Amino acid sequence: MKKIFSVLTLTLLALVLVACGSNKQSSKQLSSMPKIEGFTYYGDIPKDPQKIASLSSTYTGYLLKLGFDPVAVTSYDAKNPVLKDKVKSAKVLMPDDLESIAKTKPDLIVVDADDKNVKELAKIAPTIAIKYGKNDYLAIHSNFGKIFGKEKEADNWIKDWKSKTAKIGQDLRGKLGQETTFTVAGLFEKEIYLFGNNWGRGGEVIYQALGFDAPQKVKDQVFKPGYLAVTQETVGDYIGDYVLVAAENEETGSSLYESDIWKAIPAVQKGHVLKVDANAFYFNDPLTLEYELDVIQKGLEKIQ
């Protein structure tokens, strides 16, 4: 009888533990996963993730701004002077390092939709895959707010950003001229690229936030695709009254800066060139945009 009672007790205890475990698991709050163009969900997305693997550097700053601390980030995040101290405790990984990503035991993965490893990553943890360029930077921040139940935080930043940049833009356009045009360029070892109003390098700040215009040729050929590769011989055809140049270091653009073609461009001759650190200006997240705004405002005031 005593033996039967012990068996029954153990059985009841086991059932209680299973029930508790089930209740604990079911109590995990899931996101409503709103339908957003360019956002694809794999698995049940947690509303309050604790261990996010941010495997697309584009989105790390958005997550940080909303109060999340990723457990994994990319090498580009670690190089960004704005974000590097904020992610120093995270593992620096790339999306193809599946084994190392799994070891971080993420409860959510955020990655670019074009990454070839999306489906493999989704086997590790619930995943949000985002198509770059489908939403502008303000919409992306708002969308993250909707997914994680942080609409108020996201909307407050957007409201403050619009108010602040409207005032700064009005002031700068008053000093530089209302019709002043800007070109945004990025230099690599051998290539020269022009960027539109939603492809990083300061385009979001210059064109969208501050309200400056671009030369017609830039609007016609660069804005829709987002970027355009040009040569030294043709770059001058796209340069407006001012040009912002993003490069990782001074040596990157040395061949262009030393060329007679560059020196003959009117904006260059007038000193209307603002050189910025591409390691930060690659990005268009809220934290980095605040830094970019400060750099651009101070740089243009100095030039003026």
The full DSSP string for 230-270 is: E-HHHHGGG--SEEEEEESSGGGGHHHHTSHHHHTSHHHHT
Helix (H) or strand (E) holding 79: helix 75-79
Confidence at residue 250, expressed as pLDDT on a 0 to 100 scale: 77
Whether residue 185 sits in one domain with residue 115: no
Q: Is residue 228 part of a domain?
A: yes
**Domain annotation covers residue 260:** yes
- Are both 195 and 106 inside the same structural domain? no
**Shared domain check, 180 and 140:** no
| 80 plus 194 within the same structural domain | no
What confidence score (pLDDT) does residue 212 get? 97
Model pLDDT, residue 33: 78
Would 18 be classed as within a structural domain? no
pLDDT at residue number 67: 97
Burial profile 249-284: b = 16 or more Cβ within 10 angstroms, e = fewer? eeebbeebbeeeebeebebbeeebbbebbbbbbbbb
Beta bridge mates, 243:
183, 273
Regarding whether 204 and 141 lie in a shared domain, the answer is no
Residue 31 domain-assigned? no
Rg from Cα positions in the chain:
24
Domain count across the chain: 2
Which residue among 133, 150, 167 closes a domain?
A: 150
Q: Are 300 and 276 in contact (CB under 8 A)?
A: no
Q: What is the pLDDT of residue 252?
A: 82
- Structural domain including 86 reads 39-150
In a domain, 24, yes or no: no
Residue 286 covered by a domain? yes
Per-residue tens of pLDDT for the chain, all 304 residues: 444 434 444 444 344 444 444 333 334 678 777 889 999 999 999 999 999 999 999 999 999 999 999 999 999 999 999 999 999 999 999 999 999 999 999 999 999 999 999 999 999 999 999 999 899 999 999 999 999 999 999 999 999 999 999 999 999 999 999 999 999 999 987 899 999 999 999 999 999 999 999 999 999 999 999 999 999 999 999 999 999 999 988 788 788 898 999 999 999 999 999 999 999 999 999 999 999 999 999 999 999 7
**Contact between residue 235 and residue 253 where contact means Cβ atoms under 8 Å apart:** no
Tell whether 146 and 180 lie within a shared domain: no
Is 162 a member of any domain?
no
Same domain? For 120 and 217 the reply is no
For residue 130, count CB atoms less than 10 angstroms from its CB and return exposed for 0-12, middle for 13-18, buried for 19 or more.
buried
CATH code for position 191: 3.40.50.1980
69 shares its domain with 111: yes
> Are both 143 and 182 inside the same structural domain?
no
